[in-house]
C-alpha cells in the first residue's frame, strides 16, 4: 500500500505533550492543505521541508538535495541524448 505524495510544511503544531498535544504539521500541496501526524518521522521537520504523506501520517522527509541531483542528472541525460540525435 504505497500511495503517498510529497507535501510542503507550512506550520508545525503541538509536540509539547504526546497525549494532550501530539506533534502534527499542516502541509500544503498547491493550495490543498492537510494536518498530518508526525509520530513516525525521526526528526522534527522545518517550515518549507517536504514530507512524504501516507494515510494521514508523514512517513519521511523528502531529501531535497538528492532530488535536485536526480533532476539535474536526468536533464543532462536528456541533453546528451538530444545531441546524439542531432536535435
Binding residues for another protein (CB under 8 A):
1-8, 18-19, 22, 29-35, 37, 39-42, 50, 52-57, 59-60, 62-64, 66-67, 70-71, 74-75, 77-78, 81-82
**For residues 47 and 74, which CB has a smaller minimum distance to another protein in the complex?**
74
Q: CA quadruple 43, 17, 19, 7: dihedral positive or negative?
A: negative
Closest distance of CB 13 from another protein, Å: 14
Q: What is the DSSP string of 34-62?
A: EEEE-TT-SS---TT-EEEEETTEEEEE-
Amino acid at each position: 500500500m504505497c500511495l503517498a505524495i510529497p507535501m510542503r510544511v507550512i506550520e508545525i503544531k503541538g509536540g509539547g505533550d504526546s497525549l494532550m498535544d501530539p506533534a502534527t504539521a499542516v502541509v500544503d500541496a498547491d493550495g490543498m492543505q492537510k494536518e498530518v501526524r508526525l509520530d513516525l518521522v525521526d526528526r522534527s521537520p522545518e517550515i518549507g521541508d517536504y514530507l512524504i504523506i501516507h494515510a494521514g501520517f508523514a512517513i519521511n522527509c523528502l531529501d531535497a538535495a538528492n532530488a535536485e541531483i536526480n533532476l539535474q542528472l536526468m536533464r543532462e541525460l536528456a541533453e546528451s541524448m538530444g545531441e546524439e540525435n542531432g536535435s
